[in-house]
Amino acid sequence: MTDSGECVAIIPAKDEAGRIAATVAAVSALPQVATVIVVDDGSADGTGALALAAGAAVVTHPRNRGKAAAMTTGADFAAEHGWPDLPLLYVDADLEQSAAALGVLADPVLAGDADLTIAVLPPQSTAGGGRGFVVRLARNGIRELAGFETTQPLSGMRCLNRAAYTAAQPFARGWGVETAMTVDVVRAGLRVLEVPADLHHRVTGADWRGQLHRAEQYRDVWLALAARRGRALAARVRDRGGRDTPP
């Protein structure tokens, strides 16, 4: 889908056949969006075909490579197909009709008031099954490494200009991508803005699948933060001529 919009919407998706068409339709209708790209990350349920039928451009990973890889593939596709400079609007595939509220993320970036915007979601209709361990890990790590206070550090709905995208490269692996992105963009001296957005999506439950998902999130966020702590330490050592002394 292409029109006169000013940003590129990228939707990483895996096994979202029941929701992807509605999400694509809602995002496509946004006046801020020039094109919608769905990255089918190894789905086994026809997600890609349904996204294509709904009007999105579709790029397919034959096997699942993880969220960060899908986000990078979408940005690369946009750059290679005529949108190398437009801001990127990242969209979770399960938002369905509520994705129509995503314009509030694009507007500050398009107006030049922010380099990265992060959606802050309202309470969801179904309560999740987690205890906040991953959120606290991410929030505390962002505060420690970048001095930035976040409300929803794991929020996947984000809009960023190309300067912010470059600052966040390479993306951290898997589920650590959002936490690492925030740290990297803030530390690059760019502007980050959290924006309330009336978005609703599927909430991870408390069953074993949900707990496994949270364990994977915790691992990836921990690894992303550890890598950035290592870089910060290396920079301090370099600045002090090889002497690791307290700052």
- Separation in Å, CA 206 to CA 29, 165, 203, 212: 34, 34, 10, 10
pLDDT of residue 3: 42
Kindly give the residue spans of alpha helices, DSSP state H, lying in 66-176.
67-80, 103-110, 133-146, 162-167
Q: In the chain, which ranges are E strands?
A: 7-13, 33-41, 57-61, 88-90, 116-120, 158-160, 192-196
Phi then psi dihedrals of residue 127, to 5 deg: -70, 145
Tell me the domains of the chain and their CATH numbers: 7-239 (3.90.550.10)
pLDDT of residue 137: 97
Show Cβ contacts of residue 234 under 8 Å, excluding neighbours closer than 6 positions.
none
pLDDT of residue 182: 98
| Nearest C-alpha neighbor of 89 from the set 67, 76, 79, 74 | 74
Q: What is the pLDDT of residues 16-35, one digit of tens each?
A: 999 999 999 999 999 999 99
> Does a cis peptide bond (omega within 30 degrees of 0) precede residue 170?
yes
Q: What is the pLDDT of residues 38-93, one digit of tens each?
A: 999 999 999 999 999 999 999 999 999 999 999 999 999 999 999 999 999 999 99
- Total residues belonging to the chain: 247
Helix axes of 177-187 and 208-239: crossing angle, nearest 10 degrees: 30
Q: What is the pLDDT of residues 148-183, one digit of tens each?
A: 999 999 999 999 999 999 999 999 998 999 999 999
